């Protein structure tokens, strides 16, 4: 039961990584140092002062760049692999009492997959916002992303079951959004028209 709860907490934190890479890592560091979050063996470094300072600095920089029109779209592209890695680490840090192979397989599939799904959905929404508002409507969207990252981080630690239910519902909507994305349809159309290359 403890292992299952660890996976649930990790998935909640991974979803938060899809909105902001470093906010949940900072939250994990604070919560673990305060004794509210237990880390798996090998991840004790997250509860150290150097890690806390590094995560706090990275969080401030990440938040700031997402408030610069058009630069936020560039950051989105860089955040896709970063969020996937962060989500994998977040889940692995919560999964203990199992073999390293199973731990990391579960972390990559569950944690990395959830982060990638959430991040992919935000990329689609931000692209639409940039197209409709010239990038200036993204200020509001960036604020909502930040709030979502904070809320999911707190819920994952305090109310993990509720957080898990919310993550499942959100990922379902994100997958539907990605499937209907004009960018994806354009890519499919290009592949159909040029199956063997140019």
Sketch the domain layout of the chain as residue ranges.
2-187
* Euclidean distance between CA atoms 44 and 170, whole angstroms: 30
* pTM as predicted: 0.86
The pLDDT assigned to 136 comes to 67
Distance CA 21, CA 19 (A): 7
Q: How far apart are CA 115 and CA 162, in angstroms?
A: 18
The pLDDT value given to residue 179: 85
pLDDT per residue as tens digits for the range 126-164? 777 777 766 667 788 889 999 999 999 999 999 999 999
pLDDT tens readout for residues 21-51: 999 999 999 999 999 999 998 999 999 999 9
pLDDT classification of 80: cutoffs 50, 70, 90:
confident
pLDDT attached to residue 28: 97
Residue 104, both tokens = 């990391």
Q: Does residue 196 register a pLDDT over 60?
A: no
- Are 93 and 28 within 8 A, CB to CB? yes
The stretch 163-186 carries a mean pLDDT of 84
Q: What is the pLDDT of residues 59-73, one digit of tens each?
A: 999 998 888 767 766
Helix axes 160-179, 2-19, angle to 10 degrees: 50
Please indicate whether residue 188 or residue 101 has the higher confidence score (pLDDT).
101
198 pLDDT exceeds 50? Answer: no
pLDDT at 182: 65
Bigger pLDDT: 23 or 5? 23
- Distance separating alpha carbons of residues 3 and 11, to the nearest angstrom: 12
């Amino acid at each position: 039961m403890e292992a299952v709860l660890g996976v649930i907490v990790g998935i909640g934190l991974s979803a938060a990584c899809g909105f902001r890479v470093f906010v949940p890592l900072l939250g994990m560091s604070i919560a673990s140092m305060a004794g509210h979050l237990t880390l798996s063996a090998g991840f004790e470094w997250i509860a150290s002062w150097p890690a806390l300072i590094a995560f706090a600095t990275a969080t401030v920089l990440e938040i700031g760049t997402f408030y610069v029109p058009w630069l936020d779209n560039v950051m989105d592209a860089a955040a896709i692999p970063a969020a996937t890695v962060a989500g994998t680490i977040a889940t692995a840090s919560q999964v203990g009492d199992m073999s390293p192979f199973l731990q990391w397989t579960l972390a990559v599939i569950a944690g990395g997959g959830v982060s990638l799904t959430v991040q992919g959905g935000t990329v689609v929404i931000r692209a639409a916002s940039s197209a409709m508002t010239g990038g200036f409507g993204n200020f509001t969207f960036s604020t909502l992303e930040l709030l979502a990252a904070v809320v999911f981080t707190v819920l994952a630690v305090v109310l993990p079951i509720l957080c898990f239910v919310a993550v499942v519902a959100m990922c379902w909507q994100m997958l539907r959004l990605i499937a209907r994305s004009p960018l994806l349809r354009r890519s499919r159309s290009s592949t159909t028209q040029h199956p063997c290359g140019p």
